[in-house]
A and B are shown apart, each in its own frame.
Chain A
Amino acid sequence: MSAAVPSLAVWKFASCDGCQLSLLDCEDELLAVAGAVRIAHFLEASSQVEPGPYDVSLVEGSITTEHDVERIHEIREASGTLVTIGACATAGGIQALRNNADVTAFTDIVYARPDYISTLATSTAIADHVPVDFELRGCPIDRGQLLELITALLAGRRPRVRQHSVCLECKQRGTVCVMVAHGTPCLGPVTHAGCGALCPAYGRGCYGCFGPMHHPNPPALRSTLVDLGMPSRDIARLYQTFNAASPEFAEAARQEERA
Chain B
Amino acid sequence: MTHRTNTRVLSVEALARVEGEGAMHLTLDGDTITDLRLEIYEPPRFYEAFLRGRSYTEPPDITARICGICPVAYQSSATQAIEDACGVVIPEDIRMLRRLQYCGEWIESHVLHVYLLHAPDFLGYHSAMEMAADGHRDVVARGLRMKKIGNELLETVGGRAIHPINVKVGGFYRAPTRRELRAHLDDLRWGRDAAAETVRWVAGLDFPDLEFDYEFVALADPDGRYPIDTGRVVSNTGIDIAVQQFGDYFEEFHVRHSTALHGRRRNGGSHRDGHYFVGPLARWALQADTLPESVAAVAREAGLSAAERNPFRSIVVRAVEVLYAYEEAVRIIEQYETPERSAVDVPPRAGTGHGISEAPRGILYHRYTIDDEGTITDAVITPPTAQNQPTIEDDLRRFAGDHLHLSDAELQWRCEQAIRNYDPCISCSTHFLTLTVDRR
B127 within 8 A of A: yes
- Residues of B with C-beta under 8 A to A241: 61-62
Q: Mark B61-103, 1 if CB is under 8 A from A, else 0.
A: 1100111110100000000000000000000000000000000
A191 to chain B, nearest CB (A): 13
CA of A112 to CA of B133 in the docked complex: distance in angstroms? 48
- Residues of A with C-beta under 8 A to B55: 234, 237
- The reply to whether B129 and A21 form a contact with Cβ atoms under 8 Å apart is no
> Which of B128, B160, B261, B427 contacts A198 (CB under 8 A)?
B160
- The reply to whether A110 and B49 form a contact with Cβ atoms under 8 Å apart is yes
B328 within 8 A of A: no
A80 to chain B, nearest CB (A): 21
A39 within 8 A of B: yes
Task: Tell me the nearest residue of chain B to A42, going by C-beta.
Answer: B127
B132 within 8 A of A: yes
- The reply to whether A17 and B261 form a contact with Cβ atoms under 8 Å apart is no
B393 to chain A, nearest CB (A): 16
A239 to chain B, nearest CB (A): 13
A81 within 8 A of B: no
B122 to chain A, nearest CB (A): 13
B144 within 8 A of A: yes
Instruction: State how many residues of chain A have any CB contact under 8 Å with chain B.
Output: 65
> Which of B54, B259, B427 contacts A17 (CB under 8 A)?
B427
State whether A46 and B112 are in contact (beta carbons under 8 Å apart), knowing that A15-B427, A94-B50, A202-B159 are contacts in the complex. Answer: no
- The reply to whether B128 and A45 form a contact with Cβ atoms under 8 Å apart is yes
- The reply to whether A45 and B68 form a contact with Cβ atoms under 8 Å apart is no
- The reply to whether A39 and B129 form a contact with Cβ atoms under 8 Å apart is yes
- Residues of A with C-beta under 8 A to B17: 43-47
A232 to chain B, nearest CB (A): 13
B163 within 8 A of A: yes
> Which of B18, B45, B67, B71 contacts A95 (CB under 8 A)?
B45
Assign chain B's interface to a size class: 35 or more
A68 within 8 A of B: yes
State whether A25 and B45 are in contact (beta carbons under 8 Å apart), knowing that A12-B21, A30-B144, A47-B17 are contacts in the complex. Answer: no
- The reply to whether B129 and A34 form a contact with Cβ atoms under 8 Å apart is yes
State whether A242 and B65 are in contact (beta carbons under 8 Å apart), knowing that A94-B45, A97-B50 are contacts in the complex. Answer: yes
State whether A17 and B19 are in contact (beta carbons under 8 Å apart), knowing that A31-B140, A105-B49, A110-B48 are contacts in the complex. Answer: yes
CA of A140 to CA of B64 in the docked complex: distance in angstroms? 11
- The reply to whether A21 and B68 form a contact with Cβ atoms under 8 Å apart is yes
State whether A19 and B68 are in contact (beta carbons under 8 Å apart), knowing that A27-B144, A48-B130 are contacts in the complex. Answer: yes
- The reply to whether B45 and A44 form a contact with Cβ atoms under 8 Å apart is no
B52 within 8 A of A: yes
| CB neighbors of A among B10-52 (8 A) | 14-21, 42-50, 52
- The reply to whether A39 and B127 form a contact with Cβ atoms under 8 Å apart is yes
> Which of A15, A65, A109, A203 contacts B174 (CB under 8 A)?
A203
A250 within 8 A of B: no
B19 to chain A, nearest CB (A): 5
- Residues of A with C-beta under 8 A to B61: 207, 241
A101 within 8 A of B: yes
A217 to chain B, nearest CB (A): 24
CA of A167 to CA of B61 in the docked complex: distance in angstroms? 21
- Residues of A with C-beta under 8 A to B46: 95, 97-98, 103, 106-107, 109-110
CA of A103 to CA of B44 in the docked complex: distance in angstroms? 11
A64 within 8 A of B: yes
> Which of B117, B127, B140, B259 contacts A48 (CB under 8 A)?
B127
- The reply to whether B44 and A27 form a contact with Cβ atoms under 8 Å apart is no
A127 within 8 A of B: no
B162 within 8 A of A: yes
> Which of B50, B120, B128, B427 contacts A101 (CB under 8 A)?
B50
A89 within 8 A of B: no
A216 within 8 A of B: no
List the one stretch of B145-153, B277-285, B302-310, B347-355 in contact with chain A: B145-153
- Residues of B with C-beta under 8 A to A43: 14-17
CA of A179 to CA of B14 in the docked complex: distance in angstroms? 48
State whether A31 and B132 are in contact (beta carbons under 8 Å apart), knowing that A45-B17, A105-B49, A202-B165 are contacts in the complex. Answer: yes
User: B residues engaging A (CB < 8 A)?
Assistant: 14-21, 42-50, 52, 54-55, 58, 61-62, 65-69, 71, 112, 116-117, 120, 126-130, 132-133, 137, 140-141, 144-145, 147-148, 151, 159-163, 165-166, 168, 173-174, 253-256, 259, 261, 416, 427, 431
- Given A110-B49, A202-B159, A202-B174, list of 6 further CB < 8 A pairs? A19-B68, A48-B130, A93-B45, A110-B431, A195-B160, A198-B159
Interchain residue pairs A-B with the least CB separation, the first 3: A18-B68, A46-B127, A47-B16
